[in-house]
A and B are shown apart, each in its own frame.
Chain A
Amino acid sequence: MHDPDLIPAGIVRCSPDARIEAVNATMLRWAGRESVSELTGRPFYSLLSPAGRIYFETHIRPMLQVEGHVQEIALELQTPGGERRRIYLNGQAERDEGGAITALHLACFSGGHRQSYERELLRQRRDAEGYVALVKSSADAIINTDVDHRIVGWNAAAQALFGYAEAKVAGRDWREVLLDGADARGSDENAVRSDGDAVRAEAEARHANGSRVAVEYHSSPIMDGSGDRLGMVTVVRDIRERRAAEETIRALNQEVVHRSKNQFAVIQAIARSTARHSSPYDFVEIFSNRLNALARNMSLLEMQASSALELRALADAQLDHLDEGLRARVSVDGPSVSLDEHTALYLGLALFELSTNALKYGALSQNARESGGVAVSWTMDGGELALDWVETGVRGVSAPSRAGFGSRLTGVLLERSTNGAVSADYRPGGLVWRYERKMKGES
């Protein structure tokens, strides 16, 4: 019989409760002990690292007791000095005729290199799984192709963006699937020109349902360790939102130019008419008042950050130049009405003119009694706006002798530019002015 001390493996015999009864010389050496008596009676787990102890007691010992054997369990021995040795453990329970365990036979094989190799394998497997999860859960569409641009991988985001399932497009040239001929050629040229380097471009890609998707794509070569090209990975981003934002900025720019041209035309008209209907001494004051009215309209529009304006806000803004006592004699009442920018501009100027007229000649002037006032009110009926400016308490009202620019602003100019109708009636108690207009698509 072979001498067990010469076997290149650690051999241990244990009692049924896993206490050491005998060991060979190899085991003794690996355990870092001098004599067998140091080990006999000790639990086998005491030869293991702390982690190994947990593993042995929770897994290995129950398995030995229930199943009778274990094989190729990776563990670490630990000497009293703290030195560790990676081993594989095989174990076999010996039973008596009644099935009761009489001894446990354990064999430890040195396995450091193999364990390192296996750990490296596991690390690589986890890495690979990590990358797969990364690609799968990416919010960007990721297309993996071979060197000939044929689709190998197609993640969930790509399916969501383009409507094709991976199985539908696998093996096809991704450029033919998603890009028009011109784009496909373009990216081909890029690829050739850049000689395997990354390609970045924007394109109108095709969705499975035939619609267009504005995208930006970035293709990079996949190289292996020795520099050989294995394929390409293409990340595709949906840039429809970015495109829409760019479009909005462009439209806003055009709008700004358009509006300022209009403003200049209006200012020019105001200047010309004010000059025609006022003395050189009054010109600056009247002109700048009218410009202020215009400016108030503009700042209101800006505050609302849209091209629609609340009628009440417009009326309040144009009455803002009155002092507190006078402002209290003007009532403003009406439902919420949203005006487009154009109507607001001209109606605002008209309200300003009405208020300055009232101040000079009408219900808010020396010609009126203290009880004199203005009721500004409006109704919306079946999409028709009717706004009334009703002055009361004026003594000796008479229609103005000549039609100045002011009356053009509250009359023909407002009618023409907003497609509305104006009536002005100078009654004994004061001016009754009415503006009516059909509102488009407003309730």
Chain B
Amino acid sequence: MTDVLQRHDVRTTGAGDRTLVLIHGYGCDKTMWDAVIPLLQSDYRIVTYDLLGCGASDISQYDKTRYATLDGHASDLVDIVTALELDRPVLVGHSVSAMTATLAANRLGERVGAVVMVCPSPSFINHDGYVGGFEPEDIDALLETLDANYLGWSSEMAPAMMGTPDKPEHCERLTNSFCQADPDIARHFARVTFRADHRADVAALPHDALVLQCRDDVIVPEQVGAWMTANMPAAKLVTLDATGHCPHISYPRETADAIRQFLEG
């Protein structure tokens, strides 16, 4: 079981009665939480890890069949919670990983305390009566955009990103390849992420859940938050005084405060 901790480069920090498991979303890795962690670690034990195929995870273990749906990532999360013997942790998932947290919570039942969803979307694609924000063609175009950056990612991007001699701590992080993924994996994960439809799983989530939204989130339209509170048994919607899709990077203070308020009631 310690294998799973190594495979995902699982890190634990902070101290407190409750444990938060922070799950990064599509596009980057666990360092996305770096600005939020200092604001929470005095009161909570905090676990972060890299989704398989991202960041410092063991990329050689990426199996396109296992990760053809979010279930593979949810199984990894279940394994991590089990390996660390966490007592009713709070699963905090960003974007698509809010769905991974949902799937894991549905499987773990009472062994999970609560779920926090940062800019979640159960389906990025529009359906009848549901506004996800994108049409299937947009997702195909995204895959093309990834292709257009395929050559760049693998050669020119890496050295360019390394060049910040004035900030040695950044260099350290860059060797952990921030936002860099094997292009084939990135493409595969993009397809899995943006074609997934987990509306039924979200609607079945019995846990207390916090849905955090931002204004002007181009990835997740505002209607999604309304849909979620209307369809989930115990969800609370909070709209942050923030814009964009990554408030934990751009507005760490607001994000941390909202999580704390939700947990302390």
| Chain A interface (Cβ < 8 Å from any Cβ of B) | 16-19, 43, 45-46, 49-59, 61-63, 65-69, 71-76, 86, 115, 118-119, 121-122
Contact = CB atoms under 8 A, between A and B. Distances in A.
Contacts of B134: 50, 54
Contacts of A57: 217-219, 244-246
A16 B160 CA distance: 22
Given A43-B244, A55-B149, A57-B218, 20 more contacts: A17-B244, A43-B216, A46-B218, A50-B142, A53-B218, A54-B142, A55-B145, A58-B95, A62-B28, A62-B246, A65-B249, A66-B32, A66-B173, A68-B170, A72-B156, A73-B149, A73-B152, A74-B148, A119-B148, A122-B151
A137 to B, nearest CB: 15
Interface in B127-179: 134-135, 138-139, 141-152, 156-157, 160-161, 164, 167, 170, 173-174, 178-179
Contacts of B167: 68
B150 A122 contact: yes
B49 interface: no
A56 B146 CA distance: 11
A60 B2 CA distance: 34
A161 to B, nearest CB: 28
Nearest to B160: A71
Contacts of A74: 145, 148-149, 152
Contacts of B146: 55
B26 interface: yes
Interface residues of B, number: 47
Interface in B221-259: 242-246, 249-250
B66 to A, nearest CB: 20
Interface centre among B161, B174, B244 (most CB of A within 10 A): B244
A55 B218 contact: no
Contact of A17 (B26, B31, B143, B243): B243
5 contacts: A18-B243, A43-B218, A52-B145, A53-B218, A76-B145
Given A17-B250, A58-B245, A62-B32, A118 B148 contact: yes
B144 A51 contact: yes
B30 to A, nearest CB: 12
Contact of B194 (A54, A68, A75, A76): A54
B250 A59 contact: no
Contacts of A52: 145
Contacts, number: 122
B264 to A, nearest CB: 28
Nearest to B133: A50
Contacts of B135: 50
A66 B217 CA distance: 19
Given A51-B138, A66-B178, A72-B157, A121 B151 contact: yes
Given A17-B244, A57-B244, A58-B245, A67 B147 contact: no
B156 A63 contact: no
Given A59-B28, A73-B152, A75-B145, A50 B138 contact: yes
Interface centre among A54, A86, A118 (most CB of B within 10 A): A54
Interface centre among B135, B141, B156, B164 (most CB of A within 10 A): B141
Interface in B51-90: none
B176 to A, nearest CB: 12
B122 interface: no
B27 interface: yes
A43 B250 CA distance: 14
Contacts of B144: 51
B178 A63 contact: yes
A62 B150 contact: no
A351 to B, nearest CB: 64
A46 B142 CA distance: 15
Given A54-B218, A59-B27, A62-B249, A67 B145 contact: no
B243 A43 contact: yes
Contact of A51 (B145, B242, B246): B145
B120 interface: no
Nearest to B174: A67
B152 A72 contact: yes
Given A62-B28, A62-B179, A67 B161 contact: yes
Given A17-B244, A51-B142, A67 B148 contact: no
Interface in B93-152: 95, 134-135, 138-139, 141-152
